């Protein structure tokens, strides 16, 4: 029985027990608000994630709690909070989108967009984080070091997913390939930190203004600890390229099955493009139907389908207990709560009787109940790079729409089949035909 079916049978909050602890499953907005925000300090991720993540990406913002997490967050957050970052980054991102277009067929042939979007996100995120793209969209020029890093990273990410679900797996199996992959990933990032340190030092001597925004360089300015810099970069790289690649794939997966939506969005973008003004963060945000399409995709196909927290101390969830299911629930230290955003976003009482249907128009009047629509988390742990990610997603959609007037589904399987890794991706990718304007 799927998670969504379990919620239908047992209600919006239910519990299962083992010998030593309990797991509570919830899609109640009030409970999510308590976990993510109002009772934030009672909940953590480190007891569950650190074992899985640390060998691969080190201790960082994704897998730490308490003071260490606060310090990591304080180190990272300002670099994403600067208003100019979105447009500065967009200029560099546009170069990678142009390379993507070189790989898109213009004759109506079938193409799976998923691996191409993944490579686009890889190239963009490595340039933003490390200062140099791995160049995966230019396979004839990619370096051997970059190829080795990507191969190691893919394998390491897969094993981290196993370690998340089977924490004892590492004690039962000695996987030399995994540990080699961890070493290769660390050494690759270390080489860019060394380059970045030299660039930052030279800029200080010459009082040079930065030509572009590179996160590694900003971290070098803030801290002199190369191990901490490497861990923070890898902790951000892990979700950054995965989330953007998955989001773009899911947008075009849905558009291919709703050609009328593609046509309507195409008309909005073509009309807005007539003034020839460059696409900026603000201009992308002003395209209402584009935002509806993105919102609806994140609602139906969230990149992170489930999330978990462990109680770090005895605490209380506001609702879900008692005979009526509305009483508070006592939660013991080390009990776990699992939250399904996939099931939450398909609640008919929150999103309409057609909550299972891809219909961007619902966002014309929909104002989601607070804490019922969580695409980037919420509270102190909300994703610091969400605006950057949304800018990349929006810009890529706009450029494809400017070039291709229509889309056809070329996948015989109509439904979305989830593959659960660190993110939730489409098993069948996004097999489509793009029709030139």
Q: DSSP for 234-280, please give it.
A: HHHHHHHHHHHHHHHHHHHHHHHT-HHHHHHHHHHHHHHHTT-PPP-
Q: For residues 303 and 423, is the Cβ–Cβ distance under 8 A?
A: yes
- Residue positions forming the annotated binding site: 383
Give the Cα separation of 394 and 282 in Å (integer): 11
Neighbours of 318 (CB within 10 A): 20
CA gap 303, 297 in Å, rounded: 10
Q: How far apart are CA 342 and CA 366, in angstroms?
A: 18
Q: Output phi, psi for 93, to 5 deg.
A: -65, -35
In angstroms, the CA 294 to CA 298 distance is 6
Tokens coding 217: 């360089």
Question: By CB neighbour count within 10 A (0-12 exposed, 13-18 middle, 19+ buried), where does 3 fall?
Answer: middle
Sign of dihedral through CA atoms 328, 43, 242, 78?
Answer: positive
CA distance 384 to 391: 13
Where residue 328 falls (left for φ over 0; alpha for ψ -120 to 50; beta otherwise) is beta
Q: Which two tokens stand for residue 356?
A: 């299972």
Q: Please, what is the Cα angle at 152 between 146 and 157, to 5 degrees? A: 125
Could you give phi then psi for residue 137, rounded to 5 degrees? -80, -5
Q: Give the C-alpha separation, 373 to 368, whole Å.
A: 6
Annotated binding-site ranges for heme:
383
Nearest to 138 by CA among 126, 153, 155, 152: 126
């Amino acid at each position: 029985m799927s998670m969504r079916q379990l919620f239908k049978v047992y209600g919006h909050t239910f519990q299962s027990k083992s010998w030593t602890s309990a797991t509570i499953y919830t899609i109640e907005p009030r409970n999510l608000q308590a976990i993510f925000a109002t009772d934030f300090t009672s909940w953590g991720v480190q007891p569950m994630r650190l074992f899985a993540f640390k060998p691969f990406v080190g201790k960082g913002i994704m897998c730490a709690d308490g003071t260490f997490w606060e310090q990591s967050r304080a180190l990272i957050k300002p670099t994403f909070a600067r208003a100019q970052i979105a447009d500065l980054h967009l200029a560099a991102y546009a170069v990678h989108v142009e390379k993507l277009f070189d790989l898109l067929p213009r004759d109506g042939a079938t193409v799976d967009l998923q691996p191409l979007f993944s490579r686009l996100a890889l190239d963009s995120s490595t340039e933003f984080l490390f200062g140099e793209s791995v160049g995966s969209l230019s396979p004839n020029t990619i370096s051997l070091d970059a190829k080795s890093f990507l191969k190691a990273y893919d394998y390491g990410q897969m094993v981290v997913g196993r370690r998340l679900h089977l924490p004892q797996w590492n004690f039962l199996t000695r996987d030399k390939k995994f540990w080699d992959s961890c070493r290769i990933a660390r050494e690759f990032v270390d080489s860019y930190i060394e380059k970045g340190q030299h660039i930052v030092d030279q800029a200080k001597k010459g009082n040079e203004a930065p030509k572009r925004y590179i996160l590694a360089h900003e971290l070098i300015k803030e801290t002199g600890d190369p191990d901490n810099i490497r861990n923070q970069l890898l902790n951000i790289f892990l979700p950054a390229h995965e989330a953007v690649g998955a989001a773009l794939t899911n947008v075009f997966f849905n558009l291919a099955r709703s050609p009328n939506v593609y046509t309507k969005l195409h008309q909005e973008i073509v009309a807005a493009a007539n003034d020839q003004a460059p696409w900026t963060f603000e201009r992308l945000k002003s395209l209402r139907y584009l935002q509806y399409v993105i919102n609806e995709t994140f609602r139906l196909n969230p990149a992170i389908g489930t999330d978990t927290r462990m109680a770090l101390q005895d605490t209380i969830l506001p609702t879900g207990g008692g005979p009526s299911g509305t009483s508070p629930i006592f939660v013991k230290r080390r009990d776990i709560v699992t939250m399904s955003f996939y099931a939450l976003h398909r609640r008919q009482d929150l999103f309409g009787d057609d909550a299972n249907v891809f219909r961007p128009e619902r966002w014309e009047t929909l104002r989601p109940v607070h804490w019922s629509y969580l695409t980037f988390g919420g509270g102190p742990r909300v994703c610091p790079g969400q605006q950057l990610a949304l800018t990349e997603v929006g810009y890529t959609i706009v450029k494809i729409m400017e070039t291709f007037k229509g889309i056809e589904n070329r996948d015989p399987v109509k439904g979305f089949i989830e593959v659960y890794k660190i993110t939730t991706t489409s098993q069948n990718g996004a097999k489509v035909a793009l029709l030139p304007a």
